[in-house]
Amino acid sequence: MSREATSMSGFWRTQLTTFAVLFAGYASYTYNRKSVSFALPNLMKNGLLDKSAAGTISSSQNTAYAISKFLGGVLSDKISAKWLFFSGLVLSGGATVLFSTSSSLTMFAALWFLNGFAQGAGWPACAKLLKKWFSPEQFGTFWSALSASSNVSGSLCPFLATSIIAQFDWRASLLVSGGVTLTSAICVALMLRDSPIEAGFNKDFSQEATKKKTDGKSTAHRLTWKNLIQSPFLWLVSAVYLVVFAAKTSVTEWGQLYLIEDLGHSAFTGSGFISAVETGGFFGGIAAGYVTDWLKKKWGKKTPGNPRMFAAIWFMAGVAGFLFVLTTFVTTYTSQFFLTVIGFGLGACLYACIAIYGIVASESYPSHLSGTAHAVVALAANVGAILSGLPCSYVAQLYNWRAIFIVLEVLAAAAALFLIVFRKVTPGLPEDKPKSQ
């Protein structure tokens, strides 16, 4: 075997190792982030929290997450993505362990705010590392595959958490979650490298992409964040990302409570529904990356706008459709099978949209601004997550949990129409404008 072939073989193995560490690390982030959500029915049943207090805890985390995910995106353009990823795991794991020893609402909210702040380091670091380690032709597929780590975690962890709570208590469940996250941090420190160059390979796909964009007379390398915030495409993506993230967070945070409190289903039925959402999200996210990579190769230069957004229209309409079924046809007597089908379809559409919006935000702008671009749309997404916390729990307190999903159903349908109307919008940065001769 030639030296070049040996080098390529070693690079491919290192790529896979990098992906595996990121996959396990981000799955740990998700397990940690949702650990209190899994415990909420038990906490409310025991009288430790009411609906308003549960919303306060959720919003405290989501508020911090919104702030830190924006900061994390900006920081990922400035500092080591590996150590950003590591730091978030350590802080979020530590906050969860401390939460398991607390009892007051003030401490619960403060610690979950800290957890949310630490969580914001996770995906921006992943996005930056993916761009360095994988070529533009692989980017959409590996982005979606890595996003699926959240769904794998979300599918398995409701059952794990419910079993631990049933066998021991909610404190033990959070202690396990914190321990898993801290263990993942150790693996990241030992096994992850910031770039192929740091690992000894003469490759850096993010630099190659930048070189392609800056060939000839392109001005991409001179663009600043001021040019970025003037891009209409960025605000289009931000608007629809806010809606879909509000829907996703509400479904995963309040879906089981809707089934348990409004409709009288068991805790395991509620956990099964959430698991189905995450399982559907796994397949939907991967399908979105693969299909939109194909659309971009086939139609990327033939149609105005980003061709990935055409797929987003259909997935967004699917979100509205499955929410309609959930609020209209699900009753106390609905079978577990039917609930699983609804959860699977809803999760597939939700996570497909999330994957597409994240990909287009990162790939549509030069490498030195890709983290910031993703940070802007992620900030909008997390505003949606904040709205799904205390405001939604207040709506549930005034009416019921079903009312939340009716509102989200209408918003999702409106977002799909919004995408149809503005489907031809482009990033609109200076390098896209024709130059005078």
Handedness of CA 417, 418, 422, 423 (dihedral sign): negative
In the block, tokens 């072939």 appear at 5
Cα separation of 367 and 153, whole Å? 30
CA distance 409 to 388: 13
Instruction: Judge whether 394 and 55 are in contact, CB under 8 Å.
Output: yes
Local confidence band at 168 (pLDDT 50, 70, 90 cut-offs): confident
- pLDDT of 216 reads 43
- For the ranges 42-46, 100-104, 190-194, 256-260, which has the lowest average pLDDT? 42-46
Residue where the block lists tokens 């978030």: 88
Phi–psi pair at 91, nearest 5 degrees: -70, -40
How many angstroms separate the CA atoms of 214 and 393, rounded?
A: 49
Report pLDDT digits (tens) over 314-373.
999 999 999 999 888 888 888 888 899 999 999 999 999 988 888 888 777 666 667 777
CA 313, 155, 385, 232 dihedral sign is: negative
Q: Are 139 and 363 in contact (CB under 8 A)?
A: yes
At a CB cut-off of 8 Å and minimum separation 6, what does 413 contact? 317, 320
pTM for this predicted structure: 0.69
Q: What is the spatial distance between Cα 384 and Cα 66, in angstroms, rounded to a whole number?
A: 9
Residue 202, pLDDT above cutoff 80? no
pLDDT level of residue 242 (50, 70, 90 thresholds) = very high
Model pLDDT, residue 432: 44
Residue 98 pLDDT exceeds 80: yes
User: For the domain bounded by 16-195+229-424, which CATH number is listed?
Assistant: 1.20.1250.20
